[in-house]
Structure 1
Amino acid sequence: DPATAGCTGLTRVVCSGEALPYDLQERFLARFPAELHNLYGPTEAAVDVTHWTCVDDGSGIVPIGRPVANTELHVLDRHGLPVPQGVTGELYLGGVQLAEGYHRRPDLTGASFVRHTDGRGVTRRLYRTGDLVRRLPGGALEYRGRTDAQIKLRGFRIELGEIEAVLSAHPSVAECAVLLREERLAAYYVPAPGAAPEPASLAARLRAALPAYMVPTAWSPLAAMPLTHSGKLDRKRLPDPTAAPAGDRPAAPPRDAREQRLLEIWAELLGRSGLGIHDDFFDAGGHSLLALRLISRINAAYGTALGVSAVLAHPTVARQAALLRDGHGTDGRPGAAVPLAGGGVQPPLFLVHPVGGGVLCYREAAAVLGTGRPVHGLPAPGLTPGTPPAATVRELADLGLRAVREIQPAGPYRLGGWSFGGLVAYEMAHTLTEQGEDVALLALLDTGFPGTDGAPDTLLADFAEDLLRSAGLGMPEPLAASLAAAQAAGHEEDGLRTVRDELIRQDAGAGLTPGELARHYAVFRANTLAAAAYRPPAHRGAVHFYQSTDGARLGSARAWARAVRGPLVVRELDTDHYGIVRGAHIRETAKDMEKIMGEGLDR
């Protein structure tokens, strides 16, 4: 507008109340000599609590800034724990300016104004904003949407705003929106001027920053976003999503009756259609419980005795059909290594199963590490039908070493394990060291030192929580009390029926047979008892310990320091025991492990 040239007396403009788009900031700074300030804040905290002086830095981001005087900003995950820099969490506010609450609404007051205790034991009164933010490298905050856009898909709780924030940062995307449509994530985007991004490239960008279950499987380019009369996005007017999932190739149809039947099982479990025989089960939304249910359905349909690790080794319909067609009705020798990621010329990394026995938990780590080196998981014996669980950590270590040496006859070896898996990895590393072998990496991920995790008098409750949390589901407190009572009374079978009922209630257990559940409980129970009886020997090698800050295992590093005779390197991650193998936390850990392994190449 030519009239803007006459605004020579304008010195300062303050924006607040709505998110300030980056392109609007650029247009303002190009036309006016005035300062532009971006503020953020809710009425519950005296309106404005952050400030940012806008600059044309080419970042594509307009932060909401840093706290104003007498204000505290806390970025927390859903468990109330601080998230690392760059990770999206919910913004909580503290300080003298907080309101007392909502007039005559104690229910709303109790839900929004909370008491929070940090890792140092300090309790504060905070206001829960419901806004998603992330901390930028300089310390400023970036607004990334609302928590009330949270949805639940196949057992996972997903923040749609977090997906939209990552997608909108793509230079070829001008605007975007993500919705839950027909039990799948649908992405809508308006290309930036002169750009024509392919859905496959956008999906790849999201996969690099988010877990697989948060990547949309339907993509729709739009000329413009539908708007309401007030100029805001009208989500109700977004069209039906594109039928084909994003990817380099269309969904491949089944070639025979076996592939057709497997596709039908997949569609029923995943709650979606349009899948092809080369689609990856986990990229399509599968998780640990769904993999267990898938194997249960396949075994029932074909009379096989496959274990859940078969889904990891053969994650597509085509490969599962070939496995059945070739007559391989079992997983082979119990304890055999399962390939999690292949390719690359670097020496392999071996990751040992946690207490539940499976190795699905390492998929995200393998995605980071597997670009340059093979990554293998070592599942527990006992998960495959007809095989008993191991009784001791020593026995598991011997089985693990046998599997490792089949792939890598000589060192240096690289080992790791989350939780209970760290105990087995530690025993394996100690044995190798005593035999004169070189261990280039021993990584323990939040592994409690034996004797610090409590007595095994809550086995059923711990088993249920492990199943639920592994699938991204919550553990109801009444369920824990009921299972503890069943175990105390010696009614484990009744307790397992209660666990199965809860899985079905949370839409996660239908199709899971009582026998499958009992077999997994037997492995969980054997491993828990093995951990309680294990006494770690003095290890002369280096140990890299990655510790969560949820409090349950904060003493473990000090306990390990008394057993380790070599260097003990401790890194803390602001998450809980399950979060340490997910999302940004496991990506951070995996990159650190890769750096350590890279430094050891000259050994």
Structure 2
Amino acid sequence: MCFALSVALISSNDSPDYNPCDISQWHPSQSPLLQPLNPLQTSRHLLSLLQPNTLHDVIAQAVDRYPSHELGFVTSSAHDSSIQTKTFSAFNQYVRNLARAMLEWGKPTGSVVVVYLTEHEDNMAACMGSPALSAQQAHKEGHVAHIKNLFGSATWLTNDLGAEQISTISGLEIHLLSELKASAETFNVSADWVAYEAKPDDEAILFLTSGSTGFSKAVVHTHRTILAACRAKGQSYGLTSESRVLNWVGFDHVAGSLEMHITPLLYGASQLHVHASAILADPLRLLRLIDEKSIELAFAPNFLLSKLTRDLEKRTDLFGHFDLSSIKRINSGGEAVVSKTAQAFAATMKQLSKNPSAVSFVISAGFGMTETCAGCIYDPVDVLATEPAHEFLDLGRPINGCEMRIVDPADGATLRPDGESGELQVRGPMVFSSSFVEGGWYRTGDVGIVENGVMRLSGRIKDTVIVHGVSYGIPELETHLQTVEGVTHSFLAAAPYRAPGQETEGFIIFYSPTFDLDGADASTKLFATHRALRDICVKMITLPPQFVVPIPVNQMEKTTLGKLSRARLISLFKQGQLAQHIARSEELLSEARGATYMLGIFNLAVGEMSASDNFFELGGTSIDVIRLKREGEAHFGLPEIPTIQILKHPVISSLASYVNTLLSKDSQTEEYDPIVPLQLTGNKTPIFFVHPGVGEVLIFVNLAKYFQNERPFYALRARGFEPGHPFFTSMDEMVSCYAAAVKKTQAAGPYAIAGYSYGGVVAFEVAKRLEAMGDEVKFVGLINIPPHIADRMHEIDWTGGMLNLSYFLGLVSKHDANDLAPALRSMTRKEQLEVVWKLSPPERLVELQLTAGKLDHWVDIAGSLIECGKDYNPSGSVSAVDVFYAIPLRGSKSDWLNNQLKPWSGFSRGEPSYTDVPGQHYTLMDFDHVPQFQKIFRGRLEACGLKFGQTRKFKFPDTLKRVELVRDLPLFKVLGPLQALMEGAK
């Protein structure tokens, strides 16, 4: 909160040498500077109540007028909707005591403190610091060094988790927030204690942006610019002291700190700040909070609107369940809002509302930047009452005091006529920048169109691509792409592109090949080049390119400065002038694939798929496996195509042969083999992943895709899923089986073993067994599991196991699972299953092809694994362990790390590594978090010496086909007679 301004620069009332205009003395935070408060006294105080001129005045006004208004917080570790609250008055006292305690550090006046925290309440009290640090040591050290050089500061204020991340970096003076809080409890300063009285044109907030390369740049705002923005925003939002605002954006973002905190504070509105993970893990929590707290204003970027709609539109059991009449407006920014997504979201919210006619869902797309104090242009519109005019929502008109114009980007000054695109420029009292053009206009770097006073964006000039609201630097991506064999140096460009109907921004790669596209071996070389380009893109920015366009070097034009024009290439692409190059590329790739008999899986056209294609290489996901199973059974009239067989037969010819055996009734019960190959390309050390406590390995499908052409990825699946396969009866039996299977798959070390949740302790034991055999185990990855699990296993009865599995499968929410547990324990097993079955979304049951009998059996499998763990006591050690930790099932993340996970150190002969990963225990490998998890995980593999290198040449399909090609399309359509397909695929 802006009360946090009291946790000042290290200064006091008797600090005459303090200079408020010296930027080197200010706090390098993305949130308000740790600057002292203005006194609540006499004429200045009365004046501030009439017209606040500084953030100090805003605080004084809020405390004086609305002392009992509340700040609410839902933390990252909260597993329900419990809210911690503090009144404006109480929080004011709290942060003043913190400010007084900070003086005890004895730092010289004007010292800078870098604050690195995660929770909203801590950010308000002590101000957010630098952006999240990379898990890769080299990048982390570079980023910290950059911040030190930028501000000359080596003093950091953080929590236990932050201290763990930067503890290996020398030259830092680290203070813990917990220690500062303990010190603050010894003080009780007056409610008007201050150290410095700010002036309107003093620098008030210094934001650190992530920057296109990941290193921060600084943007400074004064009290005047901030208040000009906040006054205008509040007017636009219609805020009053009775308003209630919900924010989930972190304070490291300008929207979280200014738009959703200072602006409501200026108007005396109550605020509820929710950690992002709490919303992403349980979308229903957002609706419950809106209902329970009568929320009026919230924020949701396009990707969250899309996720909420996907997760909730099929929950017919919840229709009419929530009172959403209070919500008046949802702001959306960060990336363009798809009109259909906004309409679908609003329609879903209406269906979930108790009184749909009382709900008016205004989705307000907006434009803003750090330099403009977040949003400065908005278009609040009821998307159900007013049909959007374009594919993306218009961005609207400027707030009071802000102006906009569209100019020729070539000179940055010549005005473009109404309706013509050009560079968007803005100006006004809320804009702060050191690079204005004549007339005080700021060049945003975006291409826009203004028509009848309403603005919409049509592209980007900047060297970035925005994927689900996250900005990635194109120059850095291009630098890595230039290293690919087959690419002519300096003749490659990546340009942002958003195809019609596409939910998030994508990009296209244009390049000149080093080889002749009409040469004898052109198809082989083109295939290898495109595969390598795709792999780099996925691993760097989690997304493959939409198109890769090879253009002969003599046809690739450069500017007079010797650069490729991204804007011109995109223009040529849209106009169809590159069609011949795209057609030639497809022809060569088809030749490389050796297309023969085609399946209509993924709705690919003839020539795009062959019998040798791999289901997962084409973009198949864990959900696609289930859909393939369902539609395959329907098409062939088979009672069952076991999921495990699709996993074990991902190549189309192999799967076709297996289906043929089912049709001919020649199939026999296979001998149990725990190894499930999810990815077989690459020549680096394979990774073996042990299943979590539910025994299944589908959860690893999405992760395995990121290892394509780098290293094989094998999963170990529990015994008991298939008929005739008994459950494991002891940990030793399981470990012996898995160790033997690993040795059979990879005859000699070095080995890389990992396990998720329960699988972590199994992976540890397998690694011990391999070392006992004389093999080297170079990597042991333990994901969110402590070494001592026996007590936890004894806590889980059949009811708990069923509810955990049901939550894991998306049949019930975590909230429902917790609420149901006490009542279910008094019921019979059959009755418990019936309750869960009735609560389960019918569409989800169909999607998973789940029956009550299968769920019952699955619970027994999970129960058998629990029984194996009840007597487990870790002993011995391995060469080293890598522990990855996320938000635990219960308790705080700090306690989870320090008291539950740190004991792994006693079972590691080398120095263990503890790495923070995004998400919660059950969500860290879902679609929202696996892109980040894979980057962190692969970074640790590299740090252990298992680095990426040259790959084997495998003949697999064109991997440029994106997952979006298959979403919501029939998966198992067969072209031609079945027998011809089966025989031809062989």
Q: Same fold (TM over 0.5)?
A: yes
The aligned amino acid for 1:443 is G
Aligned length: 478
Task: Please provide the CA RMSD for this pair.
Answer: 5.5
* Structure 2 CA distance for aligned equivalents of residues 210 and 443 of structure 1: 23
* Structure 1 CA distance for aligned equivalents of residues 649 and 786 of structure 2: 32
Q: How far off is 1:484 after superposition?
A: 5.5
Q: Contact 1:188 / 1:222 at 8 angstroms: preserved in 2?
A: no
Partner of 1:456: 796
What are the Cα deviations for residues 7-41 of structure 1, in whole angstroms up to 9, with x where unaligned? Answer: xxxxxxxxxxxxxxxxxxxxxxxxxxxxxxxxxxx
Does structure 1 residue 162 correspond to structure 2 residue 467?
yes
Identity percentage over the alignment?
Answer: 17
Partner of 1:114: 273
Alignment of structure 1 residues 386-425 onto 2, 5 Å: 386-425=724-763
Q: 1:429 to 1:306 in 2, by over 3 A?
A: farther
Choose which of 275, 278, 288 in structure 1 pairs with 2:622. Answer: 288
The aligned amino acid for 1:586 is Q
Partner of 1:100: 265
Q: 1:118 to 1:496 in 2, by over 3 A?
A: closer
The aligned amino acid for 2:827 is A
The aligned amino acid for 1:456 is I
Q: Contact 1:339 / 1:375 at 8 angstroms: preserved in 2?
A: yes
Does structure 1 residue 176 correspond to structure 2 residue 176?
no
Q: How far off is 1:421 after superposition?
A: 1.1
* Structure 2 CA distance for aligned equivalents of residues 420 and 362 of structure 1: 14
Choose which of 933, 943, 947 in structure 2 pairs with 1:595. Answer: 943
Q: Contact 1:546 / 1:570 at 8 angstroms: preserved in 2?
A: yes
Choose which of 904, 913, 921 in structure 2 pairs with 1:560. Answer: 904
Q: Contact 2:779 / 2:881 at 8 angstroms: preserved in 1?
A: yes
Q: Contact 1:352 / 1:378 at 8 angstroms: preserved in 2?
A: yes
Stretches of structure 1 lacking an aligned partner (at least 5 in a row): 1-47, 72-77, 104-108, 120-126, 134-142, 154-159, 227-241
Choose which of 538, 541, 545 in structure 2 pairs with 1:207. Answer: 538
* Structure 2 CA distance for aligned equivalents of residues 478 and 398 of structure 1: 38
The aligned amino acid for 2:622 is S
Task: Describe the SS at the equivalent of 2:257.
Answer: strand
Partner of 2:692: 354
Does structure 1 residue 518 correspond to structure 2 residue 850?
no
* Structure 2 CA distance for aligned equivalents of residues 588 and 331 of structure 1: 39
* Structure 2 CA distance for aligned equivalents of residues 426 and 546 of structure 1: 14
The aligned amino acid for 1:390 is F
* Structure 2 CA distance for aligned equivalents of residues 166 and 297 of structure 1: 38
Higher mean displacement: 372-381 or 315-324: 315-324
* Structure 2 CA distance for aligned equivalents of residues 496 and 254 of structure 1: 48
Q: Contact 2:686 / 2:752 at 8 angstroms: preserved in 1?
A: yes
Q: Contact 1:419 / 1:445 at 8 angstroms: preserved in 2?
A: yes
Q: How far off is 1:466 after superposition?
A: 1.2
Q: 1:448 to 1:589 in 2, by over 3 A?
A: same
Q: 1:193 to 1:295 in 2, by over 3 A?
A: closer
* Structure 1 CA distance for aligned equivalents of residues 215 and 682 of structure 2: 39
Q: Contact 2:468 / 2:504 at 8 angstroms: preserved in 1?
A: no
Task: Describe the SS at the equivalent of 1:343.
Answer: coil
Task: Describe the SS at the equivalent of 1:548.
Answer: strand
Q: How far off is 1:590 after superposition?
A: 1.8
Task: Describe the SS at the equivalent of 1:598.
Answer: coil
* Structure 2 CA distance for aligned equivalents of residues 146 and 391 of structure 1: 54
Alignment of structure 1 residues 27-176 onto 2, 5 Å: 66=219, 68=221, 92-93=256-257, 97-100=262-265, 113-114=272-273, 129-130=299-300, 144-145=334-335, 162-163=467-468, 169=474, 172=493, 176=497
Does structure 1 residue 340 correspond to structure 2 residue 678?
yes
Choose which of 478, 485, 489 in structure 1 pairs with 2:823. Answer: 485
Q: 1:101 to 1:350 in 2, by over 3 A?
A: same
Q: How far off is 1:315 after superposition?
A: 3.1
The aligned amino acid for 1:559 is P
Choose which of 641, 647, 657 in structure 2 pairs with 1:322. Answer: 657
Q: How far off is 1:375 after superposition?
A: 2.4
* Structure 1 CA distance for aligned equivalents of residues 639 and 468 of structure 2: 39
What are the Cα deviations for residues 339-379 of structure 1, in whole angstroms up to 9, with x where unaligned? Answer: 22223433432211112222233345434445343222111
Higher mean displacement: 246-255 or 305-314: 246-255
* Structure 1 CA distance for aligned equivalents of residues 760 and 650 of structure 2: 26
Q: 1:485 to 1:542 in 2, by over 3 A?
A: same
Q: How far off is 1:51 after superposition?
A: 6.9
* Structure 1 CA distance for aligned equivalents of residues 792 and 255 of structure 2: 32
Alignment of structure 1 residues 364-379 onto 2, 5 Å: 364-379=702-717
Q: 1:544 to 1:348 in 2, by over 3 A?
A: same
Partner of 2:643: 308
* Structure 1 CA distance for aligned equivalents of residues 947 and 570 of structure 2: 44
Q: 1:381 to 1:289 in 2, by over 3 A?
A: farther
The aligned amino acid for 1:92 is G
* Structure 2 CA distance for aligned equivalents of residues 286 and 497 of structure 1: 33
Q: Contact 1:305 / 1:384 at 8 angstroms: preserved in 2?
A: no
Q: 1:360 to 1:79 in 2, by over 3 A?
A: farther
* Structure 2 CA distance for aligned equivalents of residues 188 and 302 of structure 1: 39
What are the Cα deviations for residues 131-159 of structure 1, in whole angstroms up to 9, with x where unaligned? Answer: 599xxxxxxxxx84268887899xxxxxx
Does structure 1 residue 432 correspond to structure 2 residue 770?
yes
Q: How far off is 1:403 after superposition?
A: 0.8
What are the Cα deviations for residues 465-522 of structure 1, in whole angstroms up to 9, with x where unaligned? Answer: 2112xxxx98262355336633442335642673475242457636433343333332
Task: Describe the SS at the equivalent of 1:99.
Answer: helix
What are the Cα deviations for residues 576-601 of structure 1, in whole angstroms up to 9, with x where unaligned? Answer: 22454411122211221133143899
Q: 1:598 to 1:217 in 2, by over 3 A?
A: closer
What are the Cα deviations for residues 31-90 of structure 1, in whole angstroms up to 9, with x where unaligned? Answer: xxxxxxxxxxxxxxxxx9977899xx9x6999995464799xxxxxx996979x9xxx99
Does structure 1 residue 465 correspond to structure 2 residue 803?
no
Task: Describe the SS at the equivalent of 1:92.
Answer: helix
Task: Describe the SS at the equivalent of 1:509.
Answer: helix
Task: Describe the SS at the equivalent of 2:335.
Answer: strand
Q: How far off is 1:175 after superposition?
A: 5.2
Q: Contact 1:422 / 1:445 at 8 angstroms: preserved in 2?
A: yes
The aligned amino acid for 1:324 is V
Q: Contact 1:537 / 1:563 at 8 angstroms: preserved in 2?
A: yes
Q: Contact 1:365 / 1:587 at 8 angstroms: preserved in 2?
A: no
* Structure 1 CA distance for aligned equivalents of residues 872 and 931 of structure 2: 31
The aligned amino acid for 1:114 is H
Q: 1:520 to 1:568 in 2, by over 3 A?
A: same
* Structure 2 CA distance for aligned equivalents of residues 91 and 500 of structure 1: 41
What are the Cα deviations for residues 305-329 of structure 1, in whole angstroms up to 9, with x where unaligned? Answer: 6542333333354442132235684
Q: Contact 1:429 / 1:442 at 8 angstroms: preserved in 2?
A: yes
The aligned amino acid for 1:431 is R
Task: Describe the SS at the equivalent of 1:575.
Answer: strand
* Structure 1 CA distance for aligned equivalents of residues 785 and 220 of structure 2: 37
* Structure 2 CA distance for aligned equivalents of residues 174 and 277 of structure 1: 31
Find the structure with the greater CA-based Rg. Answer: 2
Q: How far off is 1:456 after superposition?
A: 0.8
* Structure 1 CA distance for aligned equivalents of residues 338 and 573 of structure 2: 24
Higher mean displacement: 406-415 or 497-506: 497-506
The aligned amino acid for 2:656 is A
Q: Structure 1-normalised TM-score? A: 0.61
* Structure 2 CA distance for aligned equivalents of residues 508 and 337 of structure 1: 27
What are the Cα deviations for residues 96-142 of structure 1, in whole angstroms up to 9, with x where unaligned? Answer: 83423879xxxxx77x74255999xxxxxxx9654599xxxxxxxxx
Stretches of structure 2 lacking an aligned partner (at least 5 in a row): 1-202, 227-245, 279-296, 304-332, 346-391, 393-465, 479-492, 514-526, 550-568, 576-581, 950-986
